[in-house]
Amino acid sequence: MNPMGWPPELMHVVEHSVTAELSTLTRTGSPVTAPTTPYPGPAGDTIDVSTGLTYPAKAERARRNPRVALLFADPVGNPGAAVVLVQGLASVRDADLQANTDRYVALSAAKVPETVKGRPKVLLRRMGWYYARIWIQVTPLHVRWWPDRHLSEPACQWNAPADTAAPLSDPPPPGGQPPAWKKAPADWRELAARALDRLPLHDLTVVAASGFPLCLPVADASLVAEGIEVRLGAGAPDIPPGPACFTAHGHPERFSGQENHTLVGTLEARPDGSALVRVERALGDWSAPGGWLRMGIGFMSKGRVLGPRLHQEAARRDQPVPKVRFP
């Protein structure tokens, strides 16, 4: 089903990619990028990603400013696929939390079955703090794609019809958004050194002249005294200086966990053709690396922090706490 006439390269990565980088904009217009799992929208005209009801920051940024980007550049489990950048408009859906949760339970179990395989359903049903979801539906406006992460040649491009529009988001809930659930690392340099050494996927996000996030894979990155020095492939579009985000992430081929880190700052051009991300700070991350035992301990720790928020966030939306129901 392809009612919008999307390029085949986009259709393939939406169906098969385990992760895509979602870029949203803060109140001040700075980009924040983190990996999430993409799914085809039910009507075939959107690309849908989700975030937890108990940690809704991505959704609230997208609700305030619907200009977002999705970068499909993860070759794990998807070898030979094109690298695809989507810039589009977000519609946030949290008016029916039970339907959202039912959809996420079904789709995530089908796409990443290792996350539930062998786990007692009685325990999974108690993880409402994780499975309760807000959906972010992305209507693509501009698509670019390259053969691989090297971006060695100029991108192919597709534009949606000029009259393409996205539905309005559901109204925001009353009251204040919950604070960050996890403390940011105090030493971004130590984290950056570890991420550059251990994690295979590195991406840079800036804000394009159009006002949309521009997220691209990095060909080379290294830690220097002033921040992180990055180089992009010759086929990358021009990268404007200004607010920037550097992400590093990775996961096993059989998706049983992940590690990701996000660092924010400003981008400066360098005379040798490279660019410098002058890092200001690292953000708290959602990482669940390691084997089942380590992952289980990590999830219990997250649940102790996020569990109390489940009732609070459902109440803000005047809805009952959604149940975790496996087919």
Per-residue pLDDT tens over the stretch 149-165: 999 999 999 999 999 99
The domain that holds 213 is classified in CATH as 2.30.110.10
pTM of the model: 0.94
In a domain, 270, yes or no: yes
Average pLDDT, the chain: 92
Mean pLDDT of 203-209: 98
243 in a structural domain: yes
All residues at 6 or more sequence positions from 172 whose CB lies less than 8 Å from its CB, including other chains: 60, 63
Q: How many domains does the chain have?
A: 1
Per-residue pLDDT, 254: 76
Confidence band (pLDDT; 50, 70, 90) for 296?
low
Domain enclosing residue 189, as ranges: 8-163+180-316
Assigned domain for 1 exists:
no
Residue 83 lies in a domain: yes
- Asked if pLDDT for residue 295 goes beyond 70, the answer is no
pLDDT at 215 over 70: yes
